[in-house]
Structure 1
Amino acid sequence: MADGEDREEPRRFGAVAGMALTVGSAAVWGLAHLATGRRRMGWTLLTMQASLVLIGLLAFIVGPNWLLGLVVRAGWLTGLTTVLLGLGVGWAALVIRSHLMVRPIRPGPVARIAGNTLAAALCVAVAAPMAYAARVASLSREVVESVFAQDPPGWPKRPEDPWRNRSRVNILLIGADAAPGRPGVRTDSMTVASIDPRTGRTVLFGLPRNLAHPPMPRGPARERFPFGFTGDGPGSPGILNGVYQYAEDHPETVPEADAGERGPSLLKRTVGRILGLRVDHYVMVDMKGFAAIVDAIGGVTVTVRAPVVYGKYDEGHISPGTQRLSGAAALWFGRSRTGGDDYIRMSRQKCLLNALARQADPITVLHRFDRLAHATKRAVSTDIPQSLLPDLIELADKVQRARIESVQFVPPLIDPAAPDYPMIRRLVRDALVKGSGERRRNRHEPGPQPSFGPSAGPRPVSLDDACH
């Protein structure tokens, strides 16, 4: 018989040696085959395992962002789920086959029970992680498909460089509150994250919910409100947090969008006109859903500067100090206005979002992924297309390593009842230019640029400094 050809050797293993080879075969594929003379199959299995390990090491060396870029694509996630399930089943079958090859020919009752029990335990040990990983992949696909938008018609599946020739990427972050007994949705928290795609430097521009008569973008909305948004009658004040629901209730103001998309579309363009920026995408989080997300990762640690009233009927308060808040407590920390005002609440909300983003480490997310995925599907909506996710992951990594600053347009600089919108646009431009060293590109808006100072406007403040 040729060297290396399969040749079954007489079974000569005792109960202990057989169980040891079964355990070894679960860790090193093909070990039992080699021990019993099945060299060709043994080396094939060993080569397959070595190849999988090598692929894993290469992926680790390339970096987690590359892996994340793959596993946020629905097609890849479907394939990954299938591969993981197949791997789990195949690995368990290999354990069983190895046990049958190396067990004694006529084992005693004790040896037979011990060997079978060991093989069953090993099957569970190798298949369970694969099943869990397949579950995570399947849930990830559900999240991607339910939260993120389908690619628009004609949208390239994988743009080579979606930020090409772009100095900023602007994403509107919305905190929405649909309270019982109050019709519609109110966008009580609105922040634009303006990101430099080259460096990751980010400036958060916070807009008060009660900015009066916000200027409307071109189109039917401006034709209806040529001098700024005035609301839907006496019971609906013309402030910024009413734009979303107005668009949903009046389809004619956003005729190009479908139900559920009119509000975000008009709000994005309205906020963009206020700030003088092109808002690329939005991400909206329902406030009650936000509490579920916090609970899903086991709470969030924040530094509370002053007591915050807890509960709708002043049921208690959140004491000052650094502490870990549950979802319900975090919700009240972010939404309570008792003892403060909208602007203090805006500051707390930004600190809360910053803390949550920094504390949601990969191990915590993986450990609680099931709950987190279900909470995310209920709480989050966005118009970010699925094919853009890999590029956004790379951008998010830059943001995490860069400085995040915050600018809020609040009194005394900006009076929400009579906002100076040209000043807001100038301050936005100044904040971006001064922080990044870029030259001013927009030459269409007249007037001198204000310098940051005690009487001129808000200086961009590090979000980490503002929250501690």
Structure 2
Amino acid sequence: MAPTTRTRGSIRDPRRPARRPRVSVREQRAEATRFRRSITLLGMSVVAPGSAQLVKGNRQVGKVALYAWGAVIAIVLLVAWRTSMNDLAKMAVRPWLLTSFQILAFMLALAWVLIIIDAWRLGHPPGLNRKHRLIMVAATLVVAVLVSTPFVVAARYAEAAHDMVVSMFPSGEVAAASNGRLNILLLGLDSGDGRDGTRPDSIHVVSVDVLTGEPALISLPRNLEKARFPSGTPAAAEFPDGFSGDGDRSEYLLNASWTYGEANPELFDGPSGPGPTAVKQAVEGTLGIKMHYYVAVDLMGFRNLVDALGGITINVEEELPIGDKGRVLETGVQELDGYHALWYARSRESTSDYDRMARQRCVLGAFMNEADPRNVLVNFLELADASADMVTTDIPREDLGNLVDLAFDARGQELMSLQLVPPLVVPADPDFALIAEQTADLLDGVGRPNDDVSLAGTDETQPGDAGSGSGPSPAPDQTDADDTTAEASDDEESAGSGEPEDEDALTDVSSVCSYE
């Protein structure tokens, strides 16, 4: 038999655990009171940081925390009341302000967490039973994470904006508007394995009136021959009869100017770099207007940008083949992700370069339509990551505030477009006087060339022989490696081919592109 133990007239089996001493009702009430006090102090620190210290701890610390919390709320309310989305966007492109905001956000998060931990201490955890202690520890950790998360997220946004502004936009001189307009050259770069150097696959100019924000879009064919350079530049002296590269026919084309500039940097001195400077000067001399800045987007980067934005809405008017596997892009209004948007913008299968330019015009309009402040804010981190390595520009960060104003002014206004394609302009035999006149018609409506930049060799053009129709050159895709880029010879073959139907030179983009 098992031994037994006698205690005060009773026999207890030692194999049985000893009974816990019964807790009196009075002790239970005291424990509940202590637990409620701990919960209350923690809740007070969430609603009004410092109030727990003011009631039960260091009153001086409590006062400082409450005053600081009140100041934060007042500032947030004032900003929400008096600051427009435009002002917030301008703040978001100032690196020093972003750094200050990031530091302040981390300091506020840390201070609030410390206040909460101190409120937990004031709740006297050792005086609670084990169950309540565990509850208080878990509640304190959860509350600390919840109150600090918004500040950490805000600091992360500020860090991403700061890194994007500093890495993407150089410090430099702010360009003065010409004839009341700011002109930005937009380039889509195709620098894949099958391409000899970097060549702009799409060339567009966005011009914005600095007073009204009225935007205009000019599209130039990449196969435009014998582009002019502004008089007085080394390139104009080198090519008095128009750009001819190294003499090969494929080097006559406008999109070959980037590669030529990189190979001959002595002709294209400037902060933008020889390649971009060469294209800027070629477009300046051809259109007769000053190119203030350029923005170049790698074509795969464009795909990532569209995905980061959440896609774009496009009205696909005709079926477009996708790759060589029999897939097609169906007709109708569609939400396109980056992969399909890139195919829509670049595909030349069964269409011409000029059809493709028209689609690129629609894509630019759709991108502007989707890039409203709310959508940009929601997808900001993805946009910043996609832009970091895919976008190059010479826009100085000192001018970003002004460009934000122009972007907000331009939103909602008609985007007038000029396409310099046949039958208006024959790329193999361009009439540069007509190009300058059409550009002036678009920008100022008086039918005169802009006198910002004088044209070199405007009176003499060197017509070339029109090439054969452009062959199929699908858009690049990671799953279709063979279709990544077009060969340089494809640029030559596309000259003067695939003329579109005749239409007015000046067109409202919204009248030919539908985004709903």
| TM-score (norm. length: structure 2) | 0.79
Deviates more, 1:97-106 or 1:209-218: 97-106
* Aligned match of 2:199: 186
Structure 2 equivalent of residue 380 of structure 1: 391
Amino acid of the structure 1 residue aligned with 2:111: G
CA distance in 1, matches of 2:125, 2:167: 53
What is the one-letter code of the residue matched to 1:307? E
CA contact (8 A) 2:169 2:394 kept: yes
Q: How does 1:303-322 map to 2 (within 5 A)?
A: 303-311=315-323, 313-322=324-333
Q: Is the 8 A contact 1:144 1:386 kept in 2?
A: yes
State the match for 2:306 in structure 1. Answer: 294
Matched residues in 2 for 1:94 and 1:76: separation?
A: 27
- The equivalent residue for 2:209 is 196
- List per-residue Cα deviations over 1:86-123 (Å, max 9, x = no partner): 22111111111122224566111111111111110011
SS of equivalent residue, structure 2 residue 389: helix
Superposition pairs of residues 66-85 of structure 1, within 5 angstroms: 66-85=87-106
Matched, 1:462 2:508: yes
The structural deviation recorded for 1:34 is: 3.1
Please give the secondary structure, in 2, of the residue aligned with 1:182: coil
Unaligned stretches of 5+ residues in structure 1: 1-10, 156-161, 448-454
User: Hey, what's the Cα distance between the residues in 1 that align with 2:235 and 2:33?
Assistant: 83
Candidates 248, 251, 266, aligned match of 1:234: 248
Change (3 A) 1:88 1:438: farther
Q: How far did residue 168 of structure 1 move?
A: 0.7
Partner residue, 2:154: 133
**Are positions 1:205 and 2:218 aligned together?**
yes
- How do residues 249-260 of structure 1 correspond to structure 2 at under 5 angstroms? 249-254=263-268, 256-257=269-270
C-alpha distance in 2 between matches for 1:467 and 1:32? 60
Amino acid at match of 2:133: R
Conservation of the 8 A alpha-carbon contact between 1:244 and 1:263: yes
Q: Say which SS state the counterpart of residue 236 (structure 1) adopts.
A: helix
Q: Distance in 2 between matches of 1:151 and 1:194?
A: 21
Query: 1:32 and 2:52 equivalent?
Result: yes
Which residue of the partner structure matches residue 266 of structure 1? 278
Q: Deviations over 1:16-45 (max 9, x none)?
A: 343133123213222212332755443332
* Equivalent residue for 1:150, pick from 171, 174, 187: 171
Q: Does 1:403 align with 2:414?
A: yes
SS of structure 1 residue aligned to 2:405: helix
Matched, 1:95 2:116: yes
1:359 aligns with 2:370: yes
Q: 2:462 maps to which residue?
A: none
Alpha-carbon RMSD across the aligned residues, in angstroms, is 2.8
Could you tell me whether the CA contact under 8 Å between 1:163 and 1:197 is conserved in 2? no
* Letter paired with 2:248: P
- Aligned to 2:250, the other structure's residue is in SS state coil
Comparing 20-29 with 455-464, greater Cα deviation is found at 455-464
Deviation at 1:316, TM superposition (A): 1.2
> Is residue 413–residue 457 contact of structure 1 (8 Å, CA) maintained in 2?
no
Q: Which residue of 2 aligns with 1:450?
A: none
Partners of 2:197 and 2:450 in 1: how far apart? 40
Partners of 1:438 and 1:31 lie apart in 2 by 71
Matched to 2:163, the amino acid is: E
Q: Against the structure 1 CA distance between its residues 422 and 314, is the aligned structure 2 distance closer, same or farther, given a 3 Å change threshold?
A: farther
Q: Which amino acid aligns with 1:58?
A: L
In the alignment, is the contact (CA less than 8 A) between 1:13 and 1:104 conserved in 2?
no
Q: CA deviation at 1:282?
A: 0.6
Q: How far apart are 1:164 and its partner, in Å?
A: 7.2
Partner of 1:452: none
| Residues in 1 aligned to 2:436 and 2:249: alpha-carbon distance in whole angstroms | 30
Q: What is the match of residue 432 of structure 2?
A: 421
**What amino acid is aligned across from residue 164 of structure 2 in structure 1?**
V
State the Cα distance separating 1:12 from its structure 2 match. Answer: 11
Q: 1:297 to 1:13 in 2, by over 3 A?
A: farther
Q: CA deviation at 1:370?
A: 3.2
- SS at 1:358's partner residue? helix
Corresponding residue for residue 15 of structure 2:
none
Deviation for aligned residue 1:457? 8.2
> Residues 249 and 75 from structure 1, CA distance in 2 versus in 1: closer, same or farther, beyond 3 angstroms?
same
Q: Distance in 1 between matches of 2:506 and 2:124?
A: 71
- Deviation, 1:396, is 0.7
Q: CA deviation at 1:281?
A: 0.5
Query: How big is the shift at 1:382?
Result: 0.5
Which amino acid is the alignment partner of residue 358 of structure 1? N
Cα distance 1:441–1:253, how it changes in 2: closer, same or farther (>3 A)?
closer
Q: CA deviation at 1:393?
A: 0.7
Partner of 1:4: none
Give distance in 2, aligned partners of 1:240 and 1:165. Answer: 23
CA distance in 2, matches of 1:129, 1:421: 56
Task: Encode CA deviations 1:313-365: one digit per residue, 9 max, x unaligned.
Answer: 25411101111222111111111011211111111112112212322344443
Deviation at 1:456, TM superposition (A): 11
Q: Secondary structure at the match of 1:284?
A: strand
- In structure 2, the residue corresponding to 1:371 is in which secondary structure? helix
Partner Cα separation in structure 2 for residue 341 and residue 456 of structure 1: 14
Contact 1:193–1:205 at 8 Å: present in 2 too? yes
Structure 2 distance, partners of 1:130, 1:264, is 40
Cα distance in 2, alignment partners of residues 456 and 305 from structure 1: 17
- Relative to structure 1, is the Cα distance of residues 51 and 188 closer, same or farther in structure 2, using a 3 angstrom cutoff? same
Secondary structure (helix, strand or coil) at the match of 1:285 reads: strand
Q: 2:34 aligns with which of 3, 7, 14?
A: 14
What CA deviation, in whole Å up to 9, does each residue of 1:355-380 have, x standing for no partner? 12322344443444333222101110
SS across alignment from 1:173 = strand
Residue in structure 2 matching 1:54, options 69, 74, 80: 74
Look up the match of 2:293: 281
DSSP 3-state at the match of 1:387: helix
Unaligned runs of 5+ in 2: 1-30, 460-500
Name the amino acid aligned to 2:348: R
Question: Would the alpha carbon gap of residues 180 and 441 (structure 1) be closer, same or farther in structure 2, given more than 3 Å must change?
Answer: closer
Using the alignment, how far apart are the partners of 1:51 and 1:141 within structure 2?
25
Q: How many residues align?
A: 438
Q: Does 137-146 or 313-322 show the bigger shift?
A: 313-322
Comparing 438-447 with 74-83, greater Cα deviation is found at: 438-447
Q: Secondary structure at the match of 2:417?
A: strand
In structure 2, C-alpha distance between the alignment counterparts of 1:413 and 1:286, rounded to whole Å: 29
Once the 2 structures are TM-superposed, how far is the Cα of residue 75 of structure 1 from its aligned partner?
2.0
Q: Does the aligned pair in 1 maintain the 2:126–2:133 contact within 8 Å?
A: no
